[in-house]
Structure 1
Amino acid sequence: MSKQIPAFEDLPLRKGDPPYSAWGLWEKPELGAFNHLTDDVVLRAAKEEIQTGARISLNLPLDFLQPPLFNRKVFERQVINKAPRVINDDVISINTQSSSQWDGLRHFAYQKEGKFYNNVSQDDIHGDPNSTVNGAESWAKQGVAGRGILIDYHAWAQKNNVEYDRVSQYAIPLDHVKTIIKEEKLEPRTGDILIIRTGFTEGYTKLDAAKKEEIAGRQSYPGLTASVEVLKWLWENQFSAVAGDQPGFECIPPIDPDFGMMHPMLLSGWGTSIGELFFLEELSKMCQKFGRYSFFVSSSPLDYTGVVASPPNIMAIF
């Protein structure tokens, strides 16, 4: 990237802006950190990562979570018989964040300030039903493609006798992540899509209906520790997006309530999308099979006016 990235200690970039924000950094603000995915970056990733043609979807079924988490709308499907012609249509109704998803830049604001990315307010979003400000449809028009790297935390934890509940609050220490990066022989670079596997979705499949009901209601999930140290590490690596197989990427609720969550800083501070509830079980197996934890990623988010979040429609190619 020719763009000069300021030091973490220089955040926020403008006096009076919310903590750790980088408003005004990008020439194409609608893309946020996806500005890192230039033609050169994508071309390099394609040339280096696509070696076998093997590929795997990272999408969960749209109706995977029953009931959905965070009190979201239940997936609905209707198959329509177009009689007397022998034709069928189907109609689905979903919350775009009830399964695998990209969080967009109008999803989670700085709560105290009430501001989204680049000083956007709720009035800016809701005042005009055709508003596209901070809408993720810009990502759909360009497409998301580049190098993905998998931090297979669940596999590493099993190997090293680190025990935790895959469907409850657990804060992954940054030191563990750095150790895994070293052991997986990864060298993170600007524009990478960071993906962390906690084993949440695999653990969820083993639950009975009553336990799934409980999981949906209590909002306690594993993820990366939220702290200034972790935020600094993420900034210095300049990932184009971060993602995981769990409901929030970061640990929910945060271990340090005084610091809170990183969602506001990532989404509304930096314009960095958060991928949640990605399906990573087969990706983990493929990484082990090929002995490498980097791959090419291709994602086509939905395109409509004012996208808040979108199913990722994503695959990894080796």
Structure 2
Amino acid sequence: MSSTDKSIPPLSNLPLNKDDPPNSAWGLWGQTEGEDAALGSLNYLTKARILQTAKEDIQTGDRVALDLPLDFFNPPLLGRAGFEQKIIDKSPLTVNDDVISFNTQGSSQWDSLRHFAYQKEQTFYNGVTQEQIHSQPKSNVNSLQPWSKKGLAGRGILVDYVAFAQRRGIDVQHFKPHGIAIEDVKSILKEQGTEPRVGDVLFLRTGYVGAYKLLDDTKRKEVASVREWCGLAQGEETTKWLWERQFAAVVSDSPGFEVRPPTDRKWHLHPILLAGWGTPIGELFDLDELADICERLRRWSFFFTSAPLNYTGAVASPPNAIALF
């Protein structure tokens, strides 16, 4: 069996091993030739899938970058360190260098599989512990570097909740726990005529970044300390749908992909996706121009690439992401 025809059990059969954390799928990847356990669900980004979406989805030559500026959030969200730059004059030569410092989760970002653990069990993907990570920080256990070596490429699909909410007269509270129901996600995909495929990268546009862009400096200071935001509403049906779709990764323009605080803590998606399934989470992507192109072309699928930073032991990285049509 190849990773292109992966067989998965129903969600009700998880965990795969009875002593593992709830809803975990440890051991799903890496048992078949050609798979790499370190890639988790990124194993779905096979040569065949990349070729297929390149042939089908690159038609017009339109392209858009999906990263926000590294210094976009000012002050930084969630108490993280802000972006700093030092421009160095290389006199007597008329030459400049610059040195930058930033939290890798301070703007558009990928969460690696060493970012968020099952909190009760205190274990990351495939049973890795905090002690393992911190005693050998330069190891690549659950780090993002294995993704960087290959890069990410495949089919992206956009769920444009912003446009849906406008059509339905829904007042979205971006800086409060506004949960996006999985039934609405399904409705959006149906209205768009978008059929998800195994191995897609799911992009959920909540409108958080667009709303932040409209804030003045005073409001941005207030939002920086707010630990509530809009996102996908948690629940058993949501988790079941995500599991059955077997996305290679999930992405949104909000700080956490899922709504915070959770609508249903039993189905908190960060530990399930990252620590349980090995599914990357992208956050704070810039999806506004992407949505404009999708609307103009009347097509919500596209070819997607990402080249995360390449360094040993990475916990997170700007995505360096591009969508091509």
Query: Is contact 1:78-1:90 (8 Å) kept?
Result: yes
Equivalent of residue 70 in structure 1, options 49, 71, 78: 78
* SS of equivalent residue, structure 1 residue 316: strand
Aligned to 2:33: none
Q: Where does structure 2 lack aligned partners over 5 or more consecutive residues?
A: 31-35
The question of 1:256 aligning with 2:271 is answered no
Q: Distance in 1 between matches of 2:303 and 2:14?
A: 31
Q: Distance in 2 between matches of 1:19 and 1:253?
A: 20
Which stretch has the larger CA shift, 9-18 or 248-257?
Answer: 248-257
Aligned to 2:19: 16
CA positional deviation for 1:187: 0.5
Aligned to 2:48: 40
Could you tell me the percent identity over the aligned residues?
A: 53
Structural mapping, 1:120-199, within 5 Å = 120-199=128-207
Equivalent of residue 314 in structure 2, options 283, 307, 310: 307
CA positional deviation for 1:9: 1.4
* SS of equivalent residue, structure 1 residue 220: coil
Query: Is contact 2:140-2:146 (8 Å) kept?
Result: no
* 1:251-306 CA-partner distances (Å, limit 9, x unpaired): 0111234x252100000000000000000110010001100100000100111000
Q: Where does structure 1 lack aligned partners over 5 or more consecutive residues?
A: none
Superposed structure 1 runs of 4+ greater than 6 Å apart: none
Q: Distance in 2 between matches of 1:100 and 1:142?
A: 20
RMSD of aligned residue pairs (Cα, Å)? 0.9
TM superposition score normalised by structure 1: 0.98
Aligned to 2:115: 107
The question of 1:287 aligning with 2:294 is answered yes
Aligned to 2:8: 5
Q: Distance in 2 between matches of 1:224 and 1:161?
A: 18
* SS of equivalent residue, structure 2 residue 5: coil
Q: Distance in 1 between matches of 2:322 and 2:77?
A: 24
Q: Distance in 2 between matches of 1:39 and 1:119?
A: 29
CA positional deviation for 1:69: 1.1
Aligned to 2:98: 90
CA positional deviation for 1:167: 2.7
* 1:187-206 CA-partner distances (Å, limit 9, x unpaired): 10000000000111110011
* 1:135-155 CA-partner distances (Å, limit 9, x unpaired): 110001011000000000011
CA positional deviation for 1:3: 2.2
CA positional deviation for 1:162: 1.0
* SS of equivalent residue, structure 1 residue 218: coil
Amino acid at match of 2:309: L
Q: Distance in 1 between matches of 2:140 and 2:184?
A: 40
Query: Is contact 2:54-2:303 (8 Å) kept?
Result: yes
Amino acid at match of 2:26: W
Query: Is contact 1:124-1:131 (8 Å) kept?
Result: no
Q: Distance in 1 between matches of 2:137 and 2:240?
A: 36
CA positional deviation for 1:168: 2.3
The question of 1:243 aligning with 2:248 is answered no
Amino acid at match of 2:263: I
Q: Distance in 1 between matches of 2:267 and 2:6?
A: 30
Q: Distance in 2 between matches of 1:86 and 1:195?
A: 44
